[in-house]
Structure 1
Amino acid sequence: MHDPTTRQLARRLLGSGLTLAEVHRQTGVPLSTLGYWRKNPDTGAGSGRSLCPRCHGRELNGRRYSYLLGLYLGDGHIAKTHREGVYRLEIACADSWPGLIDEAAEAVAEVMPGHKVGRRKVTGCTNVGVYSKHLPCLFPQHGPGRKHDRKIELAGWQRKIVDECTEEFVRGLIHSDGCRVINRIRRPSESGDRWYEYPRYNFSNASLDIQRLFTDALDRLGIAWTQMNRRNLSVAKREAVARLDEFVGAKY
């Protein structure tokens, strides 16, 4: 993804007659992108179905992408289809949370405008999906095998988006692999047992890399967290829960 200033500069330099290599040296825009812009000078930011934010410089909604990235890292996968060069992204959403299914579909539609967003029913779950040749461009974490069996790290352009839209990223991670629950604790006393209740957030993921992305994001937001065991984390302090409640809240 390229910011508007970089795109405008590159298009102006292309229009001046400079070679692709010269414009690349001055702007850092990939040669393939510059070649596309030269062939399609009237494309603008690019909102067509076939245009990719990484390959063609189409505008990308950072807030919705950050949320969708969180969903993908938690409960999403990308697979090749029988059509050459075409991939399918699917986000698994439990049927217990119909609002989450709708929001996942909205996020996919905003990140992939012009593409048909489908919903595939399986037992107890709805997979929200979309087809595109450019899904690996948008989600470079894609690879063979399960996420916790391979290295997961963000590309530089992804880190910039997540840093700017950290709340949406955390929200996506919790909506996929987390929950807000009421914890009950029994305290014995002379007059009998007394029960105390308080809300907390839990997050569970087998990938230590994804856990680190989650906790790094919480640290940037100043939200205290605790490692419960190898794959489970908790946010239980009153002020930390209240902070998450501002932008996450319970699933619905």
Structure 2
Amino acid sequence: MLGMYLGDGHIVVGRRGVQSLSVVGDDGWPGILDEVKAAMGGLLGGAVCRVRRIGCTEVKSYSKHWTCLFPQHGPGMKHTRAIRLEPWQQRIVEAHPAPFLQGPFHADGCRATNRVRARRSDGTVTEYAYPRWFLANTSEDILRLAEDALDLLRIAHRRNRPTSLSVARREAVAALDAAIGPKN
């Protein structure tokens, strides 16, 4: 749930201190929305609802304690403020990096097929394709947390842009596939 909150979630504090945790997801990935709903319901045991929007669904739950579980909450967008894990959160991520990674990669990532067409010096053309994962986020802190979790799993990765991670080596893609499962 921490990974999904950092990816597509936010908390709003309303009247009398009641907080709503929301994770908004694309309707094209219903399995991810089901996982978010189950994880959210399992945290504080409260009711979880779905609010349909145009092209997406908001998974939402109310409590006065969401900011206790997600102290990263604060004013402004996540990429404009520091995102640091509390020591107890860090211990959980270190013990379970794969479920943590599932959040950012399923929220802000994609698994694509890279297609390469290369002309050799003898004039022949070679074509090949390989799978690759990308994670794009404008928060340096969130990308660093994902890199740290990938390192814990010994999954090779690199920054292909300042705001994007790439997992492209065959064995690394297979390891990430096994760790986080398909984006469904």
Q: TM-score, normalised by structure 2?
A: 0.95
Q: Given residue 161 of structure 1, which amino acid in structure 2 is its aligned partner?
A: I
Contact 1:179 1:250 in 2 (8 A): no
Taking the aligned partners of 1:245 and 1:150, their CA distance within structure 2 comes to: 30
Alpha-carbon offset, residue 124 of structure 1: 1.1
Q: 1:80 aligns to what?
A: 13
Alpha-carbon offset, residue 249 of structure 1: 3.0
Taking the aligned partners of 2:33 and 2:101, their CA distance within structure 1 comes to: 17
Q: 1:70 aligns to what?
A: 3
Q: Given residue 75 of structure 1, which amino acid in structure 2 is its aligned partner?
A: D
CA RMSD of aligned residues (A): 1.2
Taking the aligned partners of 2:125 and 2:31, their CA distance within structure 1 comes to: 38
Alpha-carbon offset, residue 194 of structure 1: 3.0
Q: 2:27 aligns to what?
A: 95
Q: 2:81 aligns to what?
A: 150
Q: 1:49 aligns to what?
A: none
Taking the aligned partners of 2:132 and 2:53, their CA distance within structure 1 comes to: 30
1:232 aligns with 2:164: yes
Alpha-carbon offset, residue 195 of structure 1: 2.1
Taking the aligned partners of 2:103 and 2:162, their CA distance within structure 1 comes to: 21
Q: 2:52 aligns to what?
A: 121
Alpha-carbon offset, residue 222 of structure 1: 0.6
Pairwise mapping of residues 1-252 of structure 1 onto structure 2 (< 5 A)?
68-81=1-14, 83-113=15-45, 115-189=46-120, 190=122, 192-252=124-184
- Structure having the higher strand fraction is 2
Taking the aligned partners of 1:249 and 1:140, their CA distance within structure 2 comes to: 27
Contact 1:180 1:249 in 2 (8 A): no
Q: Given residue 206 of structure 1, which amino acid in structure 2 is its aligned partner?
A: T
Q: TM-score, normalised by structure 1?
A: 0.70
User: Which stretch of the first structure deviates more once superposed, 166-175 or 69-78?
Assistant: 166-175
Alpha-carbon offset, residue 177 of structure 1: 1.1
Alpha-carbon offset, residue 92 of structure 1: 1.0
Alpha-carbon offset, residue 188 of structure 1: 1.8
Alpha-carbon offset, residue 240 of structure 1: 0.6
Computing the radius of gyration over CA atoms, which structure comes out larger, 1 or 2? 1
Taking the aligned partners of 2:43 and 2:119, their CA distance within structure 1 comes to: 53
Show structure 1 runs of 5+ residues with no match.
1-67
Contact 1:152 1:210 in 2 (8 A): yes
Secondary structure, counterpart of 2:52 in structure 1: strand
Q: Given residue 90 of structure 1, which amino acid in structure 2 is its aligned partner?
A: S
Aligned pairs, number: 183
Q: Given residue 80 of structure 1, which amino acid in structure 2 is its aligned partner?
A: V
Taking the aligned partners of 2:152 and 2:50, their CA distance within structure 1 comes to: 34
Taking the aligned partners of 1:163 and 1:128, their CA distance within structure 2 comes to: 27
Alpha-carbon offset, residue 191 of structure 1: 6.2
**Identity level (%):** 48
